[in-house]
Amino acid sequence: MAFTITGLYLYPVKSLGGYAVPAAEATPRGLRHDRRWLLVDGRNRFLTQRQHPEMAFLALEPAHNGFLIRHRQRPDLLPLYIPFEATPARTLFVTIWDDLVFAWRGAAVADAWLSEALGRGVRLVYMSDMVRRAVEPELNPGNQLVSFADGYPYLLLGEAALADLGRRVGTALDVRRFRPNLVFGGSPAYADDAWAEFRIGALPFRAVRGCGRCVLTTLDPDTAQKSPLAEPLRTLATYRSENGFALFGQNVTGPASGTLRVGDALTVVSQRP
């Protein structure tokens, strides 16, 4: 069956705001420019909104060959421009989950701006194409790579599933809470649970497993306030729980290389056993 891609989203800096794009280049590591930048602390450990919800105040928007970062509540801070790709610079070894990888330092002015914006000392670092961070090996027969995303190159989410969860919670939910790269429409809710291989246009993808959700989904992307009722995670766990995780959307790998566009057909090629 064929469905339709209705949204493409880039998150150039892991755990900061993202933005929709009409088209994007697919690479084996994920959408080009997606999560190639990372914020780390003084011990070079990665930072996310899970522990630092104030990161939600940093909104991103596209700019020429890069992007702007704005602080939603600090108009005194002029927007910070970051290029999509860093130039070779001092190398650091940074920790992201269980992985230790090298990264290039960003500009000192970016470190200073971001430290001021977040009220703590942070560094901005970049993953070059030389870094070989692999998807978890037991689910990675194709030896796929991943950027600074949590574990997989792409996250796929269905519009019908988002609407169904919103009905159960009792309010419409902003897709930004779930940080997908690929959003599709035309399918029944949760039909993607059964998908294995699929194509977007002519480009091949593989749905590996459901995405286990965390407390970040309870964070309002505009105000950085957590839901006092732990919604929508609490509701999601009542009907989408597996092995202790509330599943929503699919973790996806390539090996696609080419251009994706909003409006492309998504065609299911095979189902999981």
Q: pLDDT at position 249, please?
A: 98
Task: Single out the residue of 29, 130, 154, 13 nearest to residue 83, CA to CA.
Answer: 13
User: CB neighbours (10 Å) of residue 68?
Assistant: 14
Place of tokens 């407390």: 215
223 contacts: CB under 8 Å, gap ≥ 6: 56
Q: What's the confidence (pLDDT) of residue 232?
A: 97
How far apart CA 112 and CA 116 sit, in angstroms, is 6
Residue 97 is predicted with a pLDDT of 93
Report the pLDDT value the prediction gives residue 140, as an integer from 0 to 100.
60
76 half-sphere exposure, CB direction, 13 A CA radius: 2
Whole-number pLDDT of residue 107: 94
CA angle 196, 197, 199 (to 5 degrees): 140
Q: What is the pLDDT of residue 70?
A: 97
The answer for residues whose C-beta is within 8 angstroms of residue 225's C-beta and 6 or more apart is 53, 219
Strand positions, DSSP E, 97-196: 99-105, 123-126, 154-158, 182-185
Which two tokens mark 197? Answer: 């291989």
- Weakly modelled stretches of the chain, pLDDT under 50: none
Instruction: Output the pLDDT for position 135.
Output: 87
User: At a CB cut-off of 8 Å and minimum separation 6, what does 150 contact?
Assistant: 97
The domains found in the chain, sorted by start residue, are 2-268 (2.40.33.20)
Three-state secondary-structure class, residue 262: coil
